[in-house]
Structure formats: structure tokens, C-alpha cells
A and B are shown apart, each in its own frame.
Chain A
Amino acid sequence: MTKVQFPVYSISISGLVSWQLHALNNEGNEGNQSLTRRYYIIQKDIHEPEYVNGISGDMLKHIQAEHLHRVALESGLSLSEGGKQFNPDRIGYDLEKNLSVFTDKDTDLAAKTGKVIQLCTISDLEGFMVTEKKGQTLKRDSVIEFGAVVGLPSSVKTQSYFHAKYGVDNPTPYNVQVSSGLYATVLNIEAFRIGYNPHNFGYSIDVAERKKRLDALLKSVLYTYLQPNGAKRNTHLPHPDHFEGVITVSSRRCPAPMISPLEREYNSQIHSLASTLNNLNGAATIHCFDFNNMAEFADQIETLIAHSLPWESENAEAIA
């Protein structure tokens, strides 16, 4: 069987995920009461804002970065010392410790950025910022971005539970807010920027290495939803029981369409948008991969890993 492969410019996921009895993201305390993160949103034709539990995009990004770290180590992808230790500064850690990263020839931003991209997968994919005191600021935007995860107003509930912390002395009472329900989640991967050096408009690593990084990134996204390692998992590990949505992939210079599942008809809107974008930019610009449960989501990620190639502008010009 001939494998059909297509270039991947960007990937978006819009989905509804169900997490039960979790406390994945909290926003401080009031006395002995821990507070869940909350957002107020408006629905059409309803004039009062509705309060829902939510999880910030930063928490999702952190979970995904943790998984990426493990995948990168296991796959033997190139990492800086900071990257190997999962230091939040990544390549910045190496520079701070005066480890040898740059040579005397690496004087300008293009050369330095290229060296960082070659050396550290996590700095390439997750981004970084270092302010060298004697040089210019080195920084890179993340290839992957998460929107805030927001509960559906009609399908999310937060409850408060009494706990006691037992120790040598008297037990300390406290309350924990625990939430359950359906959550809208969106994310975007700008796959074309894997290995991309914006200072010379070229790629600092070859296409085979870029493919490895894309595959590692896709795996980490799958693991993020399989095992959401947010806060308070020791005693409030979430019960994941549902995940449905659409993965869209663009193979030309066009963002993969993404609609919030807070919109009830997000699925049909995404397909309609994909159809319109295909009419505008040429057939097979946008591919849609639907999934109706966690297993199908995993299947679709596997399909993407098997059939996707990182996009490069020569490929795009050839297609168009």
C-alpha cells in the first residue's frame, strides 16, 4: 500500500474533553478554602455572565512540555543541559552556567539562534527567552499554543469537600474545590516553524530531524490529554471519560481552522470553514480528522504521525 503523505503547515485541535472530580488548576486560597480557577462567559441570548470552572492554557502547556521532555529523552532527540533537566530556562540555563553553546564565529542573531535550534529540541518547540547582559536578547516563540480550557456552562459543576490534614498534632481542617464536567479545549501547532530560523528565513535542521520533532510534539499532545498532569493529582486524579472533536491540518500557508466548542455547532462550522478554505486556496489545503472518543483521538494522532511531513516553502510552491 502506498502511503499518502502531505506537508503540514499548521495543526489545530478543537475538542470537548470530559474530566471528572479534578482540581487541575487553582487560584489561591481564602482562609482554609482552596479556590478553583473560574471564568465568566456569556452565551447567546442570555444576558447574565455564567460562572464556569476552567484551566489556564499555561497549565496545559506545562503538562505538554513535561510529556515532551520525556518523549525527547526516550527518542534521543538533541537537548541542552537545561533541557535535559527540564529546567524552565532550557537553553538559558546553559548560558547562565557558561556552558559552551556558542563559538567565536557565532556573533549574530541568525548564527546564535541556529545553534540553539540545533542543540535543543525543547527550546525549539516550546520557545525560550534569554537576556544576555553583553549581547542581544535571544528569544523564540513556542511552536505550540493552548487556549484556556473553559467549562461548558450547562455541563460543568464545582463542589467543595471537607478534608483534614493529619499529623503529629491536631488535624487541620480545610476544604478543596473539585470540579467535573465537559470542557472546551483548543490548541494550535505552527508546524512550519519547527526548526525555522526567523533571522535568515531558513531552517537550521534538516527535514528528517524536523519530522522527528513534529512526531515527538504530536505524541506529547496525545499524552497531555491521556494523562493531564495538573495540580492536586495525588488525591484528586481526574477521571477522564470522554474526548470528541476535530483535528484540522493545513498543507499550505493558511492557518488550520479552529472554532471554540463553546459554540454548539463547532464541528459543522469547522467543516464548513475547511470547505471554504479549500475553495479559496485549492483542494486538499485543509484536512479534517474527526474523533468521537479518546481511542479515536489516539488513532488520528497515529495517522498524523504516519502521514505528515513538515512543510517547507519549496514544497508549497510546488503544490500551488
Chain B
Amino acid sequence: MPKRSPKSYPTPWLTVTYQPVSLFSLKRSDATSMAARSNLVPTPYAIKMALLKVLLESQGRQHQSDFTQWINSEFTWIRDLTIYIWPPEKLVVNRNGYKLRYYDQTADKADKTRPTIPMQGGFVFREWVYMQGNLQICCSAGNHLAELEELFAQINYFGKRGCFFQYLPEYQQTTPEPTFEPNPTTGFTVQPMDDLGEKTTFNRINPFSTEKAQLDKDRVIKPGFLPLQLMATSTRYDMYQRY
């Protein structure tokens, strides 16, 4: 494994804690929408998108006149955050069937004149993760500590909508060093973790923009090491426990 040069991160670090409220589901980057295996925890990409959403909702109106300039500078510091995720004590990954509406390829090819893309209903595979215990997120806050605290307090879901997490204000910590870091010497489970690319821009990430996001440039997928051990598995579930 190639050695990584020691990188210095801006202090302080912010650690926030969320209590899972309902089942969690977030499609892995390498899964299709028809058989969507779930990430075990929210990824840095999902967390940054959640931060971006509450930022735009809470402050966007005040920056309509200088929106482009404002969002580019805000996006830059959010993009550059380093995020570590500490999973809850136990997780059960449920395998469930699910009804979903999706692109109707047959109808689309049959009639080229349609003004919109046709949809059809069907049955798909989904995973739902039950979490026992609290989820922790550790962030390199740097100069944006106060703003970051405010943004995290406004988040109540990660990933798919309806996957609620309750922010727990009493557990918030500010420390000069991260409260936890991936430690491959202990046991771990590998999960692909997607994150924003180092040089990506808001327009690339914006789903309403005409610019397109490119894999490995704007959205980067790296192996994440989660301190989770697979304890039990069956046709219906996998159970993980934290080391």
C-alpha cells in the first residue's frame, strides 16, 4: 500500500451526534436502482449534500444578488471538509421488496414523440438498515466552526428522505484533534464511501445545472473502513456490531 504523506488538517474538529429515528437506506454508488444495496452509514457525500441543502434554505435568500460568488465560496469550504463517521453500536441490514416507479424503456422507444420520459411501476429490491445506538460525525471545522454547528443542528435526515435522524445538542464536542479516526489495525468492514472531488464546483454538483458531474472527478469513491464486525447473516438480514 502506497504511503500517504502526512496531511495537516485545520483545527478545531467538531463532533456531532444523531439518534436514528427510522430505518436508514442510502443506495451504494455501485448498486443499481433495481437492486439497491444500502450503505451502512451516511457517506461524506451524503453528509455534505445535507449541509448544502440546509445552507441554501437558510441563507440563500439573503444572497440572491451575489449568489454565484457566495455559493462558490461556501461550497468550497464544505467540499473541503474532512469527515469521519462513527457507526452506531449495532446495525441490522434488512432485505426487503419494494414497489417503485421507474423509467419505461419500452414505451420510450415505441413513441419518440413524447414530451416527457415515461414511467412504469414495478417491484425492486431495497435494503433498510436498523441502527441501535447513536451515529457520530466528526468534521474538520477550521474557521467555519460556528456556521457548521448551526448547519448540523438543522439537519434531520441523511440520504433518502424519510430516513430521519434526531440531532442531539448535548453531545456536541469541539476538540483540537478528531475524537475518532479510521483505524485499520482494529477490525473493519470495507464500504465504498463517496465524497466530493477535490476540484469540483457547485455547478457540477447542482442537479439543475447544465454542467454534468463526472465520476472520479466530481464524485470520488474510496474504500471506507468502518469499525464494524459482521456477526450474523441470513437470507433476510445481516447483523453488524461495532468493535
Task: List chain A positions with a Cβ less than 8 A from chain B.
Answer: 10, 14, 27-28, 37-44, 47-49, 51, 56-58, 61, 88-89, 92, 95-96, 98, 109, 130-134, 136-137, 139, 141-142, 145-148, 150, 186, 188, 192, 198-202, 253-255, 257-260, 273, 276-277, 280, 313
Contact = CB atoms under 8 A, between A and B. Distances in A.
B162 A146 contact: yes
A198 B123 contact: no
B58 A39 contact: no
Contact of A145 (B23, B121, B155, B157): B157
B156 A28 contact: no
A188 B64 contact: no
A42 B92 contact: yes
Nearest to B123: A28
A131 to B, nearest CB: 4
Given A133-B115, A188-B164, A40 B92 contact: yes
Nearest to B121: A88
A137 B208 contact: yes
Given A41-B92, A255-B156, A96 B23 contact: no
A142 B98 contact: no
A42 B56 contact: no
Contacts of A43: 132
A235 B187 CA distance: 51
B92 A198 contact: no
A259 B21 contact: yes
Interface in B94-117: 94, 96-99, 101, 114-117
Contacts of B94: 38-40
Given A39-B96, A42-B92, A258-B156, A186 B130 contact: no
A166 to B, nearest CB: 28
Contact of B128 (A39, A47, A109, A253): A39
A136 B209 CA distance: 8
Contacts of A47: 231
Interface stretch (B34-42, B73-81, B232-240): B232-240
Interface stretch (B9-17, B139-147, B165-173, B222-230): B165-173
B75 to A, nearest CB: 16
Contacts of B163: 147
B23 A147 contact: yes
A148 B60 contact: no
B166 A258 contact: yes
B55 to A, nearest CB: 12
B57 interface: yes
Contacts of A40: 92, 94, 130, 236-237, 239
Contact of A98 (B115, B119, B236): B115
Given A41-B132, A273-B166, 12 more contacts: A37-B96, A39-B94, A40-B130, A48-B232, A49-B130, A57-B162, A96-B116, A133-B115, A136-B208, A136-B210, A139-B207, A147-B23
B21 A95 contact: no
Nearest to A201: B61
A28 B16 CA distance: 40
A131 B97 contact: no
Contacts of A132: 115-116
A253 B24 CA distance: 24
A186 B21 contact: yes
B115 A147 contact: no
Given A57-B162, A147-B21, A199-B208, A49 B92 contact: yes
Interface in B1-45: 19-23
Given A150-B23, A258-B164, A133 B156 contact: no
